[in-house]
Structure 1
């Protein structure tokens, strides 16, 4: 009996179950990352940390996250997402759990370095699964669906951490409990996931045909394209590659700056109490979920109606960059908490259109290189994530606790994001083999 005839005859939806489990893992990924940001006002008080040192601790996660992006991408291409991310999830859950036993800033930095290293393969793995499990017409939705777990995890993380601190009177339990949950979900991920739909016994023949059909909708741009693979020098000579890197750097600087410092801004500059802090961060970060889903839906529907993909993607990302910059530049003079929340929520809504960046490896890169290119793109994300908390911390310290200069810095990053996005050619492969 062949593999095809032994498959279930009913219509199956395993590809979205795979992405559902991945979504939960990314959700926990961001809860784990955001736990420190939400708890920082309480951690800073216990360990007597100034804004400069707070910024260093918040940014330390990205030092190893950056260093392990390319090795993580290579491991994904070599061993597949199932083995690498399943194992990495167990490790990062353990480091998150250890954060609950921190005795000072140095201990906390050590756990963040371990967390950064072990979380590095997650988003490149999502890009690789996007290319393997979804047809081109569903890849924008797949990319933004997974990426939407980021702001949702940050939003839920705010409520969870605040609730735990309020109920248990200690920020440490937030690290211990979320770390243990991450370990359990990582084990579930490994048990259910397969690297390709052909390997999964639950994928029916109709679903497999759906996934495999239309794999070359855009001639020359599909991740399944055959022929010689581009070399490193081919990518380095590509304007689109550098546009992707510049845009992603600007995007990450904004997103991680907001993630890292919003709880402290609401607490210290606007006087939010514990309950208001939880709901305020939920509103701000939750706006990003809506932004992700809107961008993915519009991109897929618009791409299905035209072959002018540059018009589609540059318009959506252009609106994203302009909307983000306008909202952030309006924040510094604001003293009213409701207005500040509205502007932060608007900025987060628009910046999360940037989840479409994860369609670039899936659509414009040959399949065997998707993990590595996704890892390289995440190097730019890591650079922005490592830079933003530290620069903002020193800007806040220099201003005697004022946040105005920190937000001007994020507004400038929005301009960088906009410029980089306009440089990417979405109608050609990211890099072409040169003689």
Structure 2
């Protein structure tokens, strides 16, 4: 690795002090804020994955036998979530993040609990659409908080915490929902309990999170000055214009960011959505064994995500080139995922499948650094809009993929073709990530 490239300086990167959070006298409120965001993300994905875990039981009760119908039901969340991403990003740029986060959390808790009232395919689809709408603001608003609360050399860790709820929530959701169903003998009660928990955490977010360090009574002068030393100067709230949106899309960094996130999302959400069926139908596991396998695989994903964030921040804090560090970690992430999934699809032993998928998914979520890219590349003022667009595109992809896989499974009576789709997506994730120039600022339009 070499020292920082000699290309023009990127806004917010001039101060390259790693920023030891253990420095005496400095409070750590910023990390508590992002631990709460991790908790919100965990519950977010707990609620998302719960339907995948419960669907074998729900499908029997509602007499849903076609894989295509299951794929459409699964896609309902992603259609709604995707279509709300750009509006959610604009809201995050224009309004108070704390209010958006708390209201969204309470809203999706109610939507999650409403699944217990479903009586058939249409009501189940509608409940998933409601969950997608209410969950949509959380990531753009969280990414805006990251640009305000964290020093640039802390944002890889911040990104991993912000997005770390995906594997953690999937792991706990797999184990938790299957355990609740087994405990009560009723999938409906499991959704009621999950929804009530979500509403309570929404109250916690409102109580503790603030929009800016200056608004939080727990932040002392040392922490406030450390954060403020790297922030962009205060500017007016941006006005969204469609022509500016096309201006961002013409920048290679933005288009590569979107393509990479779409490709990564195909792998992660494809596994999250279809792995329960793959393990039960193709590998003949019961619901308890499947839940345990899912928990192991996605806990490994979470551990890989958090450790990757620390390693990236450590290397950047030591002065290594942004391009070298990010490209190295993203390349390892994509290659390991693609190779691991390919091998898992071609072995006979169920134990080997779990081990290989655990290895494949361990570095996959290093892609979470994408959430920090706009603020790192000087586009904090419009980060919500850019990231909302990124998440819109990826969730449109994630909405289509379950339907495609449903038809493939119905046509081939096998999940092998689906696994190969994930392998190809991992290759596209690799190419897109290497196209991003992490030392070139994103041009911001007034």
Please classify the TM superposition score into its range, dividing by the shorter chain length: over 0.9
Q: For residues 107 and 253 of structure 2, what CA distance do their matches in structure 1 show?
A: 35
Which residue of 41, 45, 56 maps to 2:56?
Answer: 41
Give 1:130's aligned residue: 146
Structure 2 unaligned blocks of 5 or more: 1-23
Distance 1:12 1:361, change over 3 A: same
Deviation at 1:114, TM superposition (A): 0.7
Distance 1:364 1:161, change over 3 A: same
Residues 1:320 and 2:333 aligned together:
yes
Give 1:198's aligned residue: 214
Residues 1:89 and 2:105 aligned together:
yes
Distance 1:47 1:87, change over 3 A: same
Deviation at 1:294, TM superposition (A): 2.2
Which residue of 357, 360, 370 maps to 1:357?
Answer: 370
Contact 1:224 1:366 in 2 (8 A): no
Structure 1 unaligned blocks of 5 or more: 1-8, 216-222
Deviation at 1:177, TM superposition (A): 0.6
TM-score (norm 2): 0.90
TM-score (norm 1): 0.92
Deviation at 1:212, TM superposition (A): 1.4
Distance 1:416 1:83, change over 3 A: same
Which residue of 304, 324, 327 maps to 2:317?
Answer: 304
**Secondary structure, aligned partner of 1:271:** coil
Deviation at 1:334, TM superposition (A): 2.3
Give 1:156's aligned residue: 172
Which residue of 168, 178, 196 maps to 2:184?
Answer: 168
Which residue of 131, 135, 138 maps to 1:115?
Answer: 131
Alignment of 1:14-413 (within 5 A): 14-49=29-64, 50-215=66-231, 231-400=244-413, 402-413=414-425
Figure out how many residues of one structure are paired with residues of the other and give that number. 418
Q: Deviations over 1:383-413 (max 9, x none)?
A: 232122221111111112x110110111111
Q: Deviations over 1:113-146 (max 9, x none)?
A: 0110111111111211110000111110011122
C-alpha root-mean-square deviation of aligned residues, in Å?
2.0
**Secondary structure, aligned partner of 1:265:** helix
Q: Deviations over 1:202-242 (max 9, x none)?
A: 21111101111244xxxxxxx66979989324312211111
Contact 2:81 2:395 in 1 (8 A): yes
